[in-house]
Amino acid sequence: MSNYTKIGKVEGARTELHDRLGLTGAEISVNTLPAGASVPFVHAHKANEEIYFILSGKGKVIVDGEDVDLNEGDWIRIAPAGKRQFFASSDSPISYICIQVKAGSLGAYTADDAI
What pLDDT is recorded for position 9? 83
- Residue-wise pLDDT for 53-72, tens only, equals 999 999 999 999 999 999 99
What pLDDT is recorded for position 113? 81
| Stretch 3-30: mean pLDDT | 88
Q: What is the pTM of this model?
A: 0.89
Q: How far apart are CA 45 and CA 83, in angstroms?
A: 8
Residue 1 has pLDDT above 60, yes or no: no
> Lowest-pLDDT range, 43-52, 71-80, 101-110?
101-110
Query: Hey, how many other C-beta atoms are within 10 angstroms of the C-beta on 83?
Result: 13
Mean pLDDT of the chain: 93
